[in-house]
Amino acid sequence: MTELLGGRSVAEIADAVIAGDVSAEAITKAALAQIDAQNPHLGAFLTVAPELALEQARGVDDKRARGQPLGALAGVPIGLKDSLCTKDQPTTAASRILTAGGITAPHSQTPVRPYQPPYDAQVVELLRRADAVLPGKCNMDELSMGSSTENSAFRVARNPADPNRTPGGSSGGTAAAVASGMTPAALGSDTGGSVRQPASFTGTVGIKPSFGRVSRSGLIAFASSLDQVGAFATDVAGAARILEVIAGHDRKDATSLPAPVPRYPQACGRPVTGLRLGVPEEYFADGLHPEVEQQVRTAIADLGRLGVTVTAIRLPHTGAAVAAYVVLATAECSSNLGRFDGVRYGLRSPGPDDIHELYGSTRCAGFGTEVKRRIMLGTYVLSAGYYEAYYRRAQRVRTLIIRDFADAFAQVDVIATPVSPTVAFELGSRTQDPLAMYLADVYTTPASLAGLPAMSVPCGLGRDSGLPVGIQLTAPVLEEERLLSLGAAVEQVVRS
């Protein structure tokens, strides 16, 4: 049964279902069998909905039997990060605040009456229209805050490459689902690296589109000027097919761009000869583990042999990116998370007769430590006396980082860097040092601050650890096609 799914890409599955070579129901059963076998240990999914998934799959098969055209993702099982609202499945963002009563018992993994959204996120609706099958909701760091999925209120997720290590975060469950073969693709979200870093840690492809390329409607917000829905897949072509489906303007998201959506899959086979690749020296300095550097530099050199021109560039304000990101993201989240107040949905603390006590006790009971820490930090940097010194200053640093990239893209077409300073780290190794966790986002936060599209593509295994390493490709705004062309070329050189 699992042979139906194992190793097949998004395109292979969809094309086979469309051609009638395999039924969507059979594919879905294979995916559910993989989930049954692996999820208890890996913790990739928080919620699995087998009956719903099979019903969707049978719907796809019925359409085909009636001769109706099928969507581009026909029969493809796609995991969804649990911060994406689904009207037929629970949505908790891995937080007790979106349950009616936390968890059933200490150390339980079962949320009590999880929140049930009355609507689908826009990207979920688009996946449904494309005839995808949605088997469940994936584990994550609580409310997208974290880099290891250890902040999930319900359970940790484990890296399929080494279950004693993290799959990354905050979209760690999503990455683990794809890397382990439970689903060939999944949707996550990326605010400061939460798609790209887990992709690098798990040996999957992960793309964060340009800010505004994909609607955020129905994505539970962390930082509204930074969040973007992103895609995981087993290959670049799969990511391209998903991006084509989910990209586009949405009137429900006022920040979504009206730009037309290119035929992204067609970018995957384009020759890359003559493409100018920039390599910033700031990303290859102290702190980068040698085994990561070796794999990334090897991939860059191999691209050079395909006719890509490699040029050293400078991004001088890279060192300030993490600090600017922490200020801005926590400031925005402290505002966004004000909506969790025990009034309209989710957890409400029993007892308080006073509205302010209700807010305070509900939020304290519902949020985990990292979420509280970020709310407090955001409140601080926005407070009177500190607003100019932190928040406004960080906004100015953001401008400098945007200018750095603009200057660089006057010389080059794409920028290549590591995704993370290390390979996947051991579970529990960084939970006591929140600052260390933040600093590890050094290579991914700049593209987030600048709103640029960026993608992690597997480029080999670390020579010491044997663990996956990803190369990050960054392009100018709305130039996802360049990423996909070059990403496909990386796959080509890595395979050879």
Of the candidate spans 1-9, 166-174, 280-288, 346-354, the one that interacts with other proteins by CB under 8 A turns out to be 346-354
DSSP label of 130? T
Question: Which residues are part of the catalytic machinery?
Answer: 81, 170, 194
Q: Does 406 bind other proteins (CB under 8 A)?
A: no
Among 4, 37, 400, 494, binds other proteins (CB under 8 A): 400
Least Å from the CB of residue 394 to other proteins: 6
Answer yes or no: are the C-beta atoms of 232 and 174 closer than 8 Å: yes
Q: What is the three-state SS of 268-299? A: CCCCCCCCEEEEEHHHHCCCCCHHHHHHHHHH
Binding to other proteins by residue 450, rule CB under 8 A?
yes
- Of 379, 429, 431, 465, the one binding other proteins (CB under 8 A) is 379
Q: Which is nearer to other proteins, 379 or 429 (CB)?
A: 379
The answer to whether residue 317 forms part of the interface with other proteins (CB under 8 A) is yes
Residue 60 within binding range of other proteins, rule CB under 8 A: no
Size of the site for other proteins (CB under 8 A): 71
Instruction: List the Cα angle 83/87/88 in 5-degree steps.
Output: 105
Site for other proteins in 414-443 (CB under 8 A): 434-435, 438
Q: Which residues contact 68 (CB under 8 A, 6 or more apart)?
A: none
One of 41, 129, 392, 463 touching other proteins (CB under 8 A): 392
Using the rule CB under 8 A, is 344 a contact of other proteins? Answer: yes
Span near other proteins by CB under 8 A; candidates 42-50, 130-138, 250-258, 261-269: 250-258
Q: Cβ 224 to other proteins, closest distance in Å?
A: 9
Residue corresponding to tokens 């605010």: 191
Is residue 390 a contact point for other proteins (CB under 8 A)? yes
Our finding on whether 225 is near other proteins (CB under 8 A) is yes
Report the distance separating Cα 232 and Cα 467, nearest Å: 18
- Give yes or no for residue 211 binding other proteins (CB under 8 A): yes
408: Cβ contacts below 8 Å, ≥ 6 apart: 278, 280, 313, 314, 315, 415
Q: Return d(Cα 485, Cα 496) in angstroms, integer.
A: 17
Residues 350-369 close enough to bind other proteins by CB under 8 A? 352-361, 363-364, 367, 369
Residue 472: which H helix or E strand, with range? strand 468-474
Find the shortest distance in angstroms from Cβ 317 to other proteins: 7
249 lies in the site for other proteins, by CB under 8 A: no
Which ranges of 140-211 would DSSP assign to H, the alpha helix?
Answer: 172-179, 196-202
What is the closest distance, in whole angstroms, from the C-beta atom of residue 44 to other proteins in the complex? 26
Least distance to other proteins, CB of residue 211, Å: 5
**Cβ neighbours of residue 256 under 8 Å, at least 6 residues apart?**
212, 213, 214, 215, 216, 217, 248, 249, 250
Least distance in angstroms from the C-beta of 146 to other proteins: 15
What CA–CA distance (Å, rounded) separates 479 from 174? 25
Token pair of 422 as six digits: 């290390």
Binding mask 96-115 for other proteins (x = CB under 8 A): ----x--------------x
Instruction: Copy the structure tokens of residue 58.
Output: 């049978």
